[in-house]
Structure 1
Amino acid sequence: MQVNTYFKSHFSFLTVVYVLLLSGCQSTPANKSAILLAQQGEFESAKQAIRTDYSPVGKSKLLHYLELGMLNHLQGNYQRSNELLNEAQQIIEDQYTISVSERALALVSGPTYTTYAGKIYHRPLINFYKALNYNALANQSDIDRQAYLDSALVEMRQLDTYLSGLKDRTGGYDDQDQPSGLDSLTEQINNITRPLFAPNDLLKDIEYKDDAFAHYVSGILFERSEELDSARIQYQRAIQAFEGGFAKQYAISDSIVLQIKRDLLRVMEQAGGYDSEVFALRKTLNITKSTQPQPVLNIFQNIGIGPQRKQFNLLLRADKEAKALVMTPILWGTQHEQQAQMRWFQMLYADTSLFDLMQNYATGDIGDVAMGALTKRIPLGPIWDDAVDIGLISALEYGSRISVTYLEPLKQQIKRSEVWVNNKKIADLDKIYSVSLLTLQDALNNANSEIQIALARELVKALTAQKAISATGLNSQFSGFAKFATSVVNAVTASADLRQWQSLPAQVNYVQLPISKGKHVITLKTHLTSGQVIEQSETIQVLDEITLWHTRTFLEQTRVATPESTFL
């Protein structure tokens, strides 16, 4: 009994144990190391890192194909890139639903025991990069040029079908009446915790519902192939999505929408038969009459590296006097990482509202009142007895570690990007797509469900261990040791799913320029907030009415040993 009393009154000791356990959990994933190698031009070493850590047949096989597909794209191995991205696309389609057995395994063992199926916004990006690959292959081939261009349009049609389905699904759905797939014990825990993690106003309107950027790229490619009606439809869908909320959600400037409207005007004038629509667009754009069409150059600058998902840990304990569960963050890592973890916790979980502070004050816990931003108190109230009945409170006698993901605050490294043509500055590029914000908003959107599932998983493990201990018939003194030991074991096995497509850029910048046919030296000058200027140049041959040039700009590169850009 004295042993139990000792441990109950020294939760700080268990926290120290958890911190020591975390010392072996902070490591850079292979795909982050790979893209950092690629940033320095070490592509073969980068690909080897992916092959070593991500099997083509394992639970993380999707990352094997996504990362190698992107690395080959950056190298200019377009055919091989498409072969790999085709495999990735097939895996995503096959893993559209997670099997009940995998879900059950994840509840007991952790999310990394499930097959990684990617994020909802990955599929459009696969089609995007495959289309760019096909256009590059078309530029390199005279005989098969049209076949490659047609293949790029196939990607856009597949993308359109996918986005149509996405809009149907996100137009308003409710999973409350759907089977949960959880066992009875987990369902009981979820019933106790479900009201405690309901989304708040912070999480409104951050769902990935459509992709205006993908529609726009589709329109450009259709226009390039002179399929004007398809181009018109995609431009209209892009405008509708941008103005309907995509631009606000992902911080896209109005200049992008104005450019798409000019493109829409151009294709409708060329196609004919849209007199009233053309008149209205001219009025919107303050254009009095049609202008003579001339060649245009579309520049897409894929810039930086997307943010990395990291693991965030919390200590969960039961406060019997207050009849509440209490979560406290276990800050770990560098000072910058600890600050990011604290901000993430404060933003999503901490007791920062007046109601929460009142709850802490009412329990007489002055420490929590003073440190409200560093704790999450979960008053169980009338459902406390339910928690006691199923053994939840007893199982938390020595606490439990909960692991979820977080993202560090996004750093603004880019001041502006300029495009120069033949040594003359022509325009600045504008952000048209933000993978960083997509990743952040996806993480925020899933944060409540992620912590609730993680909480349920650790409680199921604790309850299962307690039942096993009770079945052994140990006396109270030794059962206390056993409970403490199982708490430590459960802490070791707790983990969050940090898998992601790491080689994606942080954002895509864009500009469209009128240009004459012939050879031109195109230079991008990327000005960083540090004062550094990164220059990239290429001589291109403009032969068509619609031309694309895309490049990947790494912000910390020291050398480039392979092609860093693609003229299409």
Structure 2
Amino acid sequence: MLSLFNTLHYRAWLTVALIVVLTGCNTTPANKNAILLAQQGQFEQAKTAIETSYPAAGKNRLLRHLELGTLYHLEQRYQLSNDNLDKAKAIIEEQYTISVSEQALALLSGPTYTTFSGKEFHRPLINVFKALNYNALANQSPAKRQYYLDAALVEMRQLDTYLSTLTDETGGYDGKPSGDGLTDRVMRILQPLLAPNDLLKNIDYKDDAFAHYISGILYESSNELDAARIQYQRAAEAFEQGFADQYDLGTNATKQAYADLARVMRKAGGYRNELSELEEKWGDSISEPKQTGPRLTVVQNAGIGPQRKEFNLLLRADHDAKALVVTPILWGTSAERKAQMWWFQMLYADTSLFDMMQNYATGDLGDVAMGALTKRLPLGDTLWQSAKTAGLIDALEHGSRIAVTYLEPFEQKIDKSELWIEGKKVAELDNYHSVSLLTLQSALKNANREMQIALTREVVKAMTAHKAIQSTGLQAFDGFAKLATSVVNAVTAGADLRQWQSLPAQIKLTQVPITLGTVNITLKTKLRSGKVIEQSDTLEINENMTLWHTRTFIESAQSTAPTTLLTME
């Protein structure tokens, strides 16, 4: 009778549980609301949203300071921005090695119960933002100019140390379980199901060519030519050896980095052989410019990065095939359901991940067989018996809902960005970084590990509840208890959707010769929709190197977003 009850009501409990849970899955997080407010110029409301949602002493304190650091940066309140970014950097360093208790908490309760510690690419972005803030402060405070410029270089030295360590590491972010507890045994059984796909092996965050390039500009501006040469060379080599391809940047960033390297070598002297090799390889693109003197570098941070959302799956045991089966549970709008299926395909695709990822990054998801895809792992007699002995198969009698994350697809809305000086077009900006692609690749790289931990957590919860029922002597109600436990676990399972949401989607840049004196510049961002966003400023060019940066919000109600002039010696 109970078996018949289970059969008839299996779909019913799953449907009810999912309706309860998933109706709250697609709510917009506070930091996404905050950056949407900021793009409309409503900074006070944006900061209030962050301060209300992320307490200074809570497990999300890193998010609080990252988001406030960005918002104050956009407001041009640079010291307050740096104060918050300093706190964020300290929290990242503190959380670099997650404690054993935090790992256990994540396995047993869920990732959102742990302290958010950020991603590996957050630290370099903090250093870059802080350095830009210091240079803006130097421009605003002539009496303390050198003090702020020196502080900017401190950030660059810290950045160099971090990136040097990053490039030397060999996968130190993926810890392996140890011991022989219940959790460890479950993870070992599930490991073959979620072994990293070979298609994911070339999307690691290995280095940051853009960060090296900005570092080179800052060193050159302070006339530290040897340090500038080293950073330009690291940037150029990183762009050339894979960074440009990995983040779909084209070749212009590589050529510009080599051109800057050659220019600094000429200024420093003593690099005749190295210059000859560069000229032979790159030709006119790195030859000595006809127009010498001051240069203007324009950096555009454009758009808003994609949002992390929740993606649900069902794990069940197939007794006839002696296999474990994972099936996507699609939920949300038509676009969201298509994105969830595409995400699942990217993780287990037999085709080129790179091609699929590029389509995902442009919002071109094509046609997918909605609901038809599953991931099946035949365990065979030995592993199946191990799973039965551990209680895993019993625990999966009614299936287990697994909650993980996926990244919403993002569209490339910008057709081109143009720099105009004194009413004349002088250059188009090139792509120097795609924070959206970086975030996407990081999410894909961590997806298997995230899913393994989520599966383990829900299975251990179900097994623990099953054993607790058995210990009470109420085995007659075991089937109903397992059904109830499955419902509870489905309702309580949750994914970690936390991220630094206010980062730009992409970073564009151009560098041009400029004349001394007062100049009027305009950045024209032309969208594929036909809309043109114009941002203008008047600059006083009286130094060798001037850097101007801005944030362009694609959906802004204002025609001009906040801009910053950074003038450097």
Q: TM-score range by the shorter chain?
A: over 0.9
1:278 corresponds to which of 275, 280, 284: 275
Separation in 1, partners of 2:413, 2:146: 40
Residue in structure 1 matched with residue 84 of structure 2 by the alignment = 84
Residue in structure 2 matched with residue 11 of structure 1 by the alignment = 10
What do residues 275-318 of structure 1 show as CA deviations (whole Å, max 9, x unaligned)? 11122223333246675631110000000001111000011111
Contact 2:294 2:516 (8 Å CA) reproduced? yes
Letter aligned with residue 338 of structure 1: R
Helix, strand or coil at the partner of 1:57: coil
Residue in structure 1 matched with residue 136 of structure 2 by the alignment = 136
Residue in structure 2 matched with residue 490 of structure 1 by the alignment = 489
Contact 2:136 2:564 (8 Å CA) reproduced? no
C-alpha displacement of 1:19: 2.5
Residue in structure 2 matched with residue 43 of structure 1 by the alignment = 43
1:212 corresponds to which of 190, 193, 209: 209
C-alpha displacement of 1:138: 0.4
Counterparts of residues 133-532 of structure 1 (less than 5 Å): 133-170=133-170, 180-181=177-178, 184-287=181-284, 291=290, 293-349=292-348, 373-382=372-381, 383-476=383-476, 478-532=477-531
Separation in 2, partners of 1:289, 1:392: 69
Letter aligned with residue 510 of structure 1: L
Separation in 2, partners of 1:371, 1:422: 54
Letter aligned with residue 426 of structure 2: I
Separation in 2, partners of 1:334, 1:371: 13
Separation in 2, partners of 1:125, 1:273: 33
Contact 2:263 2:288 (8 Å CA) reproduced? no
Residue in structure 2 matched with residue 555 of structure 1 by the alignment = 554
Letter aligned with residue 503 of structure 2: L
C-alpha displacement of 1:196: 1.8
Letter aligned with residue 467 of structure 1: K
Contact 2:534 2:559 (8 Å CA) reproduced? no
Separation in 1, partners of 2:466, 2:522: 66
C-alpha displacement of 1:200: 2.3
What do residues 488-522 of structure 1 show as CA deviations (whole Å, max 9, x unaligned)? 11111101111000000001000001111111111
C-alpha displacement of 1:528: 1.2
C-alpha displacement of 1:426: 1.0
Change (3 A) 1:485 1:289: closer
Helix, strand or coil at the partner of 1:86: helix
Contact 1:8 1:397 (8 Å CA) reproduced? no
Separation in 2, partners of 1:349, 1:256: 33
Helix, strand or coil at the partner of 1:149: helix
Contact 2:553 2:561 (8 Å CA) reproduced? no
Change (3 A) 1:562 1:247: closer
Change (3 A) 1:61 1:213: same
Separation in 2, partners of 1:468, 1:498: 31
Helix, strand or coil at the partner of 1:512: strand
What do residues 396-444 of structure 1 show as CA deviations (whole Å, max 9, x unaligned)? 1111100110012221211111111111111111110111011000011
C-alpha displacement of 1:561: 9.1
Helix, strand or coil at the partner of 2:486: helix
C-alpha displacement of 1:372: 8.2
What do residues 303-338 of structure 1 show as CA deviations (whole Å, max 9, x unaligned)? 000111100001111111111122221111111111
Helix, strand or coil at the partner of 2:521: strand
Letter aligned with residue 522 of structure 2: T
Separation in 2, partners of 1:122, 1:156: 15
Separation in 1, partners of 2:254, 2:427: 17
Contact 2:430 2:509 (8 Å CA) reproduced? yes
What do residues 226-254 of structure 1 show as CA deviations (whole Å, max 9, x unaligned)? 10000001011111111121111111121
Residue in structure 2 matched with residue 536 of structure 1 by the alignment = 535
Separation in 1, partners of 2:545, 2:432: 19
Letter aligned with residue 348 of structure 1: L
Separation in 1, partners of 2:351, 2:490: 27
Letter aligned with residue 319 of structure 1: D
Separation in 1, partners of 2:57, 2:179: 27
Separation in 2, partners of 1:180, 1:199: 15
Stretch deviating more after TM superposition (200-209 or 53-62):
200-209
Contact 1:352 1:373 (8 Å CA) reproduced? no
Separation in 1, partners of 2:412, 2:230: 35
Helix, strand or coil at the partner of 1:143: helix
TM-score by length of 2: 0.93
Separation in 2, partners of 1:65, 1:6: 51
Change (3 A) 1:160 1:351: closer
Contact 1:461 1:490 (8 Å CA) reproduced? yes
C-alpha displacement of 1:6: 2.6
Residue in structure 2 matched with residue 97 of structure 1 by the alignment = 97
Stretch deviating more after TM superposition (328-337 or 31-40):
328-337
Moved over 4 A (4+): 172-175, 287-292, 350-353, 370-373
C-alpha displacement of 1:8: 3.3
Residue in structure 2 matched with residue 126 of structure 1 by the alignment = 126
Helix, strand or coil at the partner of 1:166: helix
Contact 1:294 1:514 (8 Å CA) reproduced? yes
C-alpha displacement of 1:182: 6.0
Contact 2:197 2:348 (8 Å CA) reproduced? no
Change (3 A) 1:375 1:10: farther
Residue in structure 2 matched with residue 361 of structure 1 by the alignment = none
Contact 1:351 1:375 (8 Å CA) reproduced? no
Counterparts of residues 31-70 of structure 1 (less than 5 Å): 31-70=31-70
Unaligned 5+ runs, structure 2: 353-368
Letter aligned with residue 223 of structure 1: E
Quick one: percent identity of the two aligned structures?
Answer: 62
Stretch deviating more after TM superposition (529-538 or 372-381):
372-381
Helix, strand or coil at the partner of 1:501: coil
Contact 1:299 1:548 (8 Å CA) reproduced? yes
C-alpha displacement of 1:14: 3.1
What do residues 42-88 of structure 1 show as CA deviations (whole Å, max 9, x unaligned)? 00000000000001111111001000010000001001100110000
C-alpha displacement of 1:183: 5.7
C-alpha displacement of 1:10: 4.7
TM-score by length of 1: 0.93
Change (3 A) 1:38 1:139: same
Separation in 1, partners of 2:522, 2:48: 32
Helix, strand or coil at the partner of 2:104: helix
Helix, strand or coil at the partner of 2:143: coil
Contact 1:222 1:228 (8 Å CA) reproduced? yes
Separation in 1, partners of 2:192, 2:326: 16
What do residues 467-494 of structure 1 show as CA deviations (whole Å, max 9, x unaligned)? 1111122242x32222211111111110
C-alpha displacement of 1:199: 2.2
C-alpha displacement of 1:393: 0.9
Contact 1:421 1:520 (8 Å CA) reproduced? yes
Aligned length: 547
Separation in 2, partners of 1:454, 1:106: 9
